[in-house]
Amino acid sequence: MSFNIEEIRKLFPVLHQEVNGKPLVYFDNAATTQKPISVIEALSNYYETDNSNIHRGAHTLADRATRYFENTRKILKDFVNAREEEEIIFTKGTTESINLVASTFGRKYIKAGDEIIISTLEHHSNIVPWQMLCEEKGATLKVIPISDIGEIDLEAYANLLSDKTKLVSIVHVSNALGTINPVKQVIHLAHEKGAKVLLDGAQSTSHLDVDVQELDCDFLAFSAHKLYGPTGLGVLYGKREVLESMPPYQGGGEMIKEVTFAKTTYNEIPFKFEAGTPNIADVIAFGKAIDFIQSVGKDRIKAHEDELLGYASKTFSEIKGFEPVGTAKEKVSVISFNIRGMHPFDVGMMLDANGIAVRTGHHCTQPLMKRFGIEGTVRASFSVYNTKSEIDQMATSLAKIAKIKNK
């Protein structure tokens, strides 16, 4: 597919509507992206023609559903360049992927006195599971500080690392600020100390080429719904040897080899971590979402989003009272800001009255907001289907809103 923005927009039915009497401008992509028609149709096609439980059936529908389901695993293996498709585990999302690692890797390998390192930029889903684990085990959580523009302090990180560090769990791209972390260096330094590294890829997988072999991360967690796919579905990538060394997550069907009342033996990866009937329809539809990304091309999506980011940063900065939060040198297409003298929620409500959807608040990063001494921000995040004229629409609205308190 060539990069024709009008053709791309036609693939997303939700974009073609009015909100509050104005054409919808959807700038809440960091919260969730819209879905192309191929994803929506895959969901109904599955229930209309293929619905069946997978992996065990001896009949044609079960075989078809299994093949389609497993095909998405292959697509995802290629998407993140895993060595083998067995290294791709389906979960409910980034949150569950991280909790899975905390519950299994954590249960086995984290002991009293050990240390886990995260950063100030983390989403709550990459903070709370580690706090719970540390509390249970008597381990310590350490936090990498950031600069005033929202970049992690690599020197401070190097000083936090020690022989006690068992895991570094860090966000690849900040959902609140858009900062791209230097994860290759983070991983390299952690490995020198023998620590494993989990990357929270919830925001990076939609904007960057994420190659798990090149990065050498031990785990990568991400969500389908930020990648034009369905909600409530995600992936945990893990290196085979690490996954094999971990105990199972939940007990039940599918994750077993043999069950007797005396003893159960467990299935191989990935099934060891996929107890119960999975989200079959959504997994199949997720494959179509990745097909969409591949058909446009990650490099072209990134180039388009970078152009929008540059344009919006310049346009918004001309508005009196516009105060950006997080201006890292390496960023994806996320702009977090406040309007001087105004509460972010009020700004969001006024933009919504003009058909413009943004997110306001702490973005599930309360400690990060505290670091900046603010309650929250307004966040506009751009995606493949957004346009410069939509940014102009927002700038016009924002200028009027800002004038209320910034004459």
Interface ranges with ligand PMP (CB under 6 A)? 93-95, 123, 125-126, 171, 175, 200, 202-203, 223, 234, 364
d(CA 268, CA 379): 42
- Selecting among 24, 357, 364, 404, the annotated active-site residue is 364
Token pair listed for 135 = 């509390």
CB of 229 to ligand PMP, least distance (A): 11
3-state secondary structure of 116: strand
Which CB atom, from 114 or from 200, has the smaller least distance to ligand PMP? Answer: 200
CB of 255 to ligand PMP, least distance (A): 21
CB of 380 to ligand PMP, least distance (A): 15
Which CB atom, from 125 or from 360, has the smaller least distance to ligand PMP? Answer: 125
Which CB atom, from 126 or from 338, has the smaller least distance to ligand PMP? Answer: 126
Which CB atom, from 42 or from 202, has the smaller least distance to ligand PMP? Answer: 202
CB of 200 to ligand PMP, least distance (A): 5
Q: Is 134 a residue of the active site?
A: no
3-state secondary structure of 357: strand
Antiparallel, parallel or unpaired: β 25-26 and 115-119: unpaired
CB of 124 to ligand PMP, least distance (A): 8
Which CB atom, from 30 or from 401, has the smaller least distance to ligand PMP? Answer: 30
DSSP assignment of 258-322: EE-SS-EEEPPTTGGG--SS--HHHHHHHHHHHHHHHHH-HHHHHHHHHHHHHHHHHHHHTSTTE
Among the listed residues 236, 226, 221, 234, the one whose alpha carbon sits nearest the alpha carbon of residue 282: 234
β partners of residue 170: 199
| Whole-Å CA distances, 396 to 118, 316, 337, 348, 393 | 39, 9, 16, 14, 5
Which CB atom, from 315 or from 336, has the smaller least distance to ligand PMP? Answer: 336
Q: Yes or no: say if 357 and 33 are a contact pair by the CB < 8 Å rule.
A: no
Report residue 319: phi and psi, to 5°: -85, 130
Antiparallel, parallel or unpaired: β 165-171 and 196-200: parallel
CB of 5 to ligand PMP, least distance (A): 25
The helix-helix angle for 280-296 and 60-80 (nearest 10°) equals: 40
> Measured in whole angstroms, how far is the alpha carbon of residue 172 from the centre of its chain?
9
Hey, which residues are catalytic here?
A: 364
